[in-house]
Structure 1
Amino acid sequence: MSARIVALVGSLRAGSHNRQLAEAAVDLAPEGATVEVYEGLADVPFYNEDIDTEADLPQAAARLRAAVTDADALLLFTPEYNGTMPAVLKNAIDWLSRPYGAGALRGKPVAVIGTAFGQYGGVWAQTEVRKAVGVAGGTVVEGVELAIPGSVTRFAETHPSEDAEVITGLSAVLTGLVTATAAPAEATA
């Protein structure tokens, strides 16, 4: 089965562990599937309905919407900032939720994972992202989760792609997400 998965990373930092986790996902994509890390979230302006018009739509927002519209699924990577998701990820969700009822997220299978310094691996942020994605029209894939604690020390000397536990967990997430992309087609067959 083939699936094109677009990954959005909620950290803009060059050395982000969530970015490294997304890079590992690219290499671990199941056969027939691809994971593409979306570049350009930093260029998307804060959502403003006044500029979300045919005449004024920012190119960065249009590119984001097009990339997600063309994807079969989304894989969102989030760190935890002050107990919740980073603004850049929330902003992307806001742009993808519009136009209301017909946004690029509508009906799209979505998995939310990530790593954070805390002992719970960013579960609060992941919960908030899942909530926002669901309200925005995405289909959060149940049971496809991965929260990796202690990122600062765990990945100080090791890239996530070299951590056996991460490889196992990330592979399971990718398999679950790819399976979810086939579910709508199987339901109509």
Structure 2
Amino acid sequence: MANSTNILILLGSLRAGSVNRQLAEVGEANAPAGVGISCYRGAAGGGLGDVPFYNEDIDVDGERPDGAEHLRAAADVADAVLIITPEYNGSIPATVKNAIDWLSRPYGHSAISGTPVAVIGAALGGYGGVWAHDETRKSLGVAGARVVEDVKLSLPTKKLNGSHPSELVEVVAEVRAVIDRLAAEVGATD
């Protein structure tokens, strides 16, 4: 059966051993029937690290960097976006903010305009990255995405107790519930 809903994961952490990368793996491995999930790998395999910092001077035809074109193309064909991000210094990692900046343009006709988007992730703090997730949702809303506000998974990494998230049934279930909710949101707009 072909996938009828495609969800793109944008991963805020560039670190190979990141818990957030592990959450993305859980998401990819637990797609419900009819849903395809892919983590953005980037134009050169470096994920969001392949996308140069946003600069309006280079956001023109013939000047736009390959990394930015690749990101926009991936978001353009996605039915929904799931951002999985840590919290850096109480806020959004630069990778996530930069991706939102590229994806927010051109205003009103961007690759994420009206697209259902959810934000989850893990962080060291006791609140699991709530501040970063809230800031990310705010930026996405301003950028024109349709933020699915009732989807929240902010996982304190200490809850994992050194385990991979895939080893904890409750974490897998929470990630699956987020994916199910995001896929349902796509169906609500078709």
| TM range, smaller chain | over 0.9
Q: Distance in 1 between matches of 2:4 and 2:150?
A: 21
Name which of 9, 19, 34 aligns with 2:36. Answer: 34
Name which of 16, 21, 24 aligns with 2:23. Answer: 21
Name which of 2, 5, 8 aligns with 1:6. Answer: 8
Is residue 4–residue 34 contact of structure 1 (8 Å, CA) maintained in 2? yes
SS at match of 1:15: coil
Q: Which residue of 2 aligns with 1:63?
A: 70
How far did residue 114 of structure 1 move? 0.3
Matched-pair identity in %:
55
Are 1:172 and 2:177 an aligned pair? yes
For residues 125-181 of structure 1, give each alpha carbon's deviation from its aligned partner in whole angstroms, at most 9, with x where no partner exists. 0000000001001000131111111x1x44463111111121111111011000000
SS at match of 1:5: strand
49-58 vs 158-167, which moves further? 158-167
TM, length-normalised to structure 1: 0.94
Is residue 17–residue 155 contact of structure 1 (8 Å, CA) maintained in 2? no
Q: Which residue of 2 aligns with 1:116?
A: 123
Q: Distance in 2 between matches of 1:180 and 1:142?
A: 11
Structure 2 unpaired stretches of 5+: 43-47
Q: Which residue of 2 aligns with 1:88?
A: 95
Q: Distance in 2 between matches of 1:3 and 1:180?
A: 10
Computed over aligned residues only, the root mean square deviation of the Cα atoms, in angstroms, reads 1.1
Q: How many residues are aligned here?
A: 183
Q: Which residue of 2 aligns with 1:159?
A: 164
Residue type at the aligned position of 2:180: T
For residues 10-39 of structure 1, give each alpha carbon's deviation from its aligned partner in whole angstroms, at most 9, with x where no partner exists. 000111100100010001111110110001
For residues 78-130 of structure 1, give each alpha carbon's deviation from its aligned partner in whole angstroms, at most 9, with x where no partner exists. 10001001000100000000011111110000010000111111000000000
